[in-house]
Structure 1
Amino acid sequence: MKNIVTCLWFDQQGLDAARFYTSIFPNSEIGTQVVLDENGQPATVPLTVDFSLNGSPFVALNGGPMFSFNEAVSFQIMCQDQAEVDYYWDALTAGGEESQCGWLKDRFGVSWQVVPTRLPELLGQGDPEVARKVMEAFMPMRKFDIAALERAAVS
């Protein structure tokens, strides 16, 4: 097996989405576009767009309006520091919507969770009281605040 490729089903916005995502993530690019309709005839909108995000392969399928994204599937972005959390949060919420606990929907309806790597470190220390305090701190947060999580861990 060569790769597992994530296929994202769009109505007609696959190329726009691929351009948007590759502009945000490093080591990303748009690859092959199949500009044919479902009958193999030339089309004005690509049927599929191959792209990669930070080296991971994706395909955007312009399959029509019968399916839409929901929170049952999402992508996690593990961030090293607050600057990375801020960068990805701001980029992906542009035209989208914020939720809680680091979750958001981008302007295409795709769900993401922007998570500092510090969060699982704080939760996994083995001290249930620290984990409880950190969870109480992050549950009402929209975008994660690493300093607030660390303060909760020592309070």
Structure 2
Amino acid sequence: MQDARICLWRNDDALEVATFYTELFDDAEIQEVRPAVRPEDADLPAGRGVGVTVDFRVGPLLMQTLNGGDDRDYDESMSVAIITEDQAETDRVWEALIADGGREDGAGGASTATACAGRSSRER
């Protein structure tokens, strides 16, 4: 069976990023964590090292994070549109995005260095 995934390149925190997304959404799960590919990374903690990939699902959306090395951090050129049920859910998602050093972008969006450049969007 073929599938396609959105791959988010990271420096060395692929598992952290996937965990952020799967904890943010009710209908989400980590599907598989593949270890680092370089022998020198074999003794690193789980989820660390170049080549680690984490497959996860957020609702029907298939995603993957990859430890690509070399300062692969997010910026506003990649964003996730989040459609919420009501204001309470919008507020919950917004708070998660700006917690722990995240920031508002001044145009209705928010981003965090460890997770995503995102946009808390309209209610359904």
TM superposition score normalised by structure 2: 0.81
CA distance in 2, matches of 1:49, 1:4: 14
Q: Please say if residues 51 and 58 of structure 1, whose CA atoms lie closer than 8 Å, have aligned partners that are also in contact.
A: yes
Secondary structure in 2 matching 1:94:
helix
Q: Please give the root-mean-square deviation of Cα atoms over the aligned residues, in Å.
A: 2.3
Deviations 1:35-68 (A, max 9, x none): 1324697352261111111231111101102433
Paired residue total: 118
TM-superposed deviation, 1:117: 3.1
1:35 matched to which residue of 2? 35
- Aligned with residue 75 of structure 1, among 56, 67, 80: 80
Secondary structure in 2 matching 1:78:
strand
TM-superposed deviation, 1:24: 1.0
| 2:20 equivalent to 1:20 | yes
What amino acid sits opposite 1:102 in the alignment?
A: G
- Aligned with residue 49 of structure 1, among 48, 51, 54: 54
1:103 matched to which residue of 2? 109
What amino acid sits opposite 2:8 in the alignment?
A: L
Structure 2, unaligned runs of 5 or more: none
Higher helix share: 1
2:10 matched to which residue of 1? 10
Deviations 1:56-103 (A, max 9, x none): 111110110243322112110012321111011011211211122321
- Aligned with residue 94 of structure 1, among 80, 96, 99: 99
What amino acid sits opposite 2:108 in the alignment?
A: G
Higher strand share: 2
Identity of aligned residues (%): 31
TM-superposed deviation, 1:3: 3.1
1:142 matched to which residue of 2? none
TM-superposed deviation, 1:14: 0.7
Larger Cα-atom Rg:
1
Q: Please say if residues 33 and 50 of structure 1, whose CA atoms lie closer than 8 Å, have aligned partners that are also in contact.
A: yes
